[in-house]
Structure 1
Amino acid sequence: MRAICLRWLLPVLLLSFTTVHAQRPAPGKPATRRAARTKTAKAKAAVPVVSQATILSVGDTLDGRFVVPQVQLSDAAAAARINAELVDAALGEDLQAVPQPLTALTGLQQAQAEYAAHEQKGFVGARYEVLYNDHGLLSIELTSDFLGAYVSSVARHATFELRTGRLLEVRDLLADTLALRQRWQESINRRVADHISKLPTEYAQLDAPLLAEVKRRLHWNDSTLTVQLEGDDPRFYDFALTSFGLTLYYDFGFPHVIEALQPETDYLFSYATLTPWLKPKGVLDFKQ
Structure 2
Amino acid sequence: MLHTYLRWLLPALLLTTAPALAQRTAAQTKKNRALARRPAKKPALVAASPQALIVSVGDTGKSMFVVPQVQLTIPAAAARINQYMIDAALGEDLEVLPDTLTAASGIRQALAEYETNGQSGFVRASYEVLYNDHFLLSMEFTAEYMGAYPSSSVRHATFDLRTGRLLQVRDLLADTLALRQRWQQSINRRIGAHLAALPASYPELDTAMLADVRQRLHWNDSTRTATLEANDPRFYDFALTPFGLTLYYDFGFPHVIQALQPESDYLFPYADLKAWLKPKGPLEFRR
Q: Distance in 1 between matches of 2:84 and 2:63?
A: 20
List gaps (5 residues or longer) in structure 1.
1-27
Whether the 8 Å contact between 1:92 and 1:102 is mirrored in structure 2 is no
Question: Cα distance, 1:44 vs. partner?
Answer: 7.8
Deviations 1:146-200 (A, max 9, x none): 1111221111111000000000000001000000000000000000000000000
Task: Give the whole-Å Cα distance in 1 for the aligned partners of 2:257 and 2:80.
Answer: 39
C-alpha distance in structure 2 between counterparts of 1:47 and 1:237, whole Å: 24
1:46 Cα deviation from its structure 2 partner: 3.6
Q: CA shift at 1:257, angstroms?
A: 2.1
CA 171–29 in structure 1, closer or farther in 2 if over 3 Å, else same: same
Asked if structure 1 preserves the Cα contact closer than 8 Å seen for 2:218 and 2:226, the reply is yes
| Residue deviations 1:103-150 (CA, integer Å, cap 9, x gap) | 111101111111122221111010000001100000010100111112
> SS state of the match for residue 257, structure 2?
helix
Q: Which residue of 2 aligns with 1:48?
A: 46
The 2-side partners of 1:151 and 1:45 are apart by 50
In structure 2, the CA distance between the partners of 1:32 and 1:75, relative to structure 1 (3 Å rule), is: closer
In 2, Cα distance between equivalents of 1:230 and 1:30: 79
- Judging changes above 3 Å, is the alpha-carbon distance between structure 1 residues 32 and 85 closer, same or farther for their aligned structure 2 residues? closer
Taking the aligned partners of 1:284 and 1:133, their CA distance within structure 2 comes to 13
Matches within 5 A, 1:115-194: 115-194=114-193
**Offset at 1:220?**
1.0
Q: Which structure is larger by alpha-carbon Rg, 1 or 2?
A: 2
Matches within 5 A, 1:1-288: 29-31=21-23, 35=27, 45-49=43-47, 50-91=49-90, 93=92, 101-288=100-287
Q: Deviations over 1:215-270 (max 9, x none)?
A: 11111111112222233333324110111110000111212222111100000000
Letter in 1 for 2:84: E
1: CA distance, partners of 2:232 / 2:91: 26
> In 1, Cα distance between the equivalents of 2:231 and 2:166?
22
SS at match of 2:204: coil
> Does the CA contact (< 8 Å) of 2:143 and 2:152 recur in 1?
yes
Separation in structure 2 between the aligned mates of residue 167 and residue 213 of structure 1, nearest angstrom: 37
Q: TM-score, normalised to structure 2's length?
A: 0.83
Letter in 1 for 2:167: L
What is the Cα-based RMSD across aligned positions, in Å?
2.4
Figure out how many residues of one structure are paired with residues of the other and give that number. Answer: 255
Q: Which runs of 4+ in 1 moved over 4 A?
A: 32-37, 42-45
- Aligned residue in 2 for 1:22: none
92 and 155 in structure 1: CA distance in 2 versus 1, 3 angstrom threshold: closer
Distance in 1 of aligned mates of 2:99 and 2:232: 34
Does the aligned pair in 1 maintain the 2:239–2:247 contact within 8 Å?
Answer: yes
- Provide closer, same or farther for how the CA distance between residues 204 and 141 of structure 1 changes in structure 2, counting only shifts above 3 A: same
Report percent identity of matched pairs.
64
Instruction: Using the TM superposition, give the Cα deviation of residue 77 of structure 1 relative to its aligned residue in structure 2, in angstroms.
Output: 0.7
- Confirm or deny: 8 A CA contact 1:92 1:107 kept in the other structure: no
**For residue 31 of structure 1, what is the amino acid of its counterpart?**
Q
Partner of 2:89, secondary structure, is: helix
TM-score by length of 1: 0.82
Q: Provide structure 2 residue ranges, at least 5 long, that are not aligned to the other structure.
A: 1-19
Amino acid at match of 2:59: D
Preserved contact between residue 137 and residue 160 of structure 2 (Cα < 8 Å): yes
CA distance in 2, matches of 1:279, 1:145: 36
Q: Secondary structure at the match of 1:65?
A: coil
Q: Write the deviation string for residues 57-90 of structure 1: whole angstroms up to 9, x where unpaired.
A: 0001233110000000011111000000000111
Query: Residues 91 and 200 from structure 1, CA distance in 2 versus in 1: closer, same or farther, beyond 3 angstroms?
Result: same
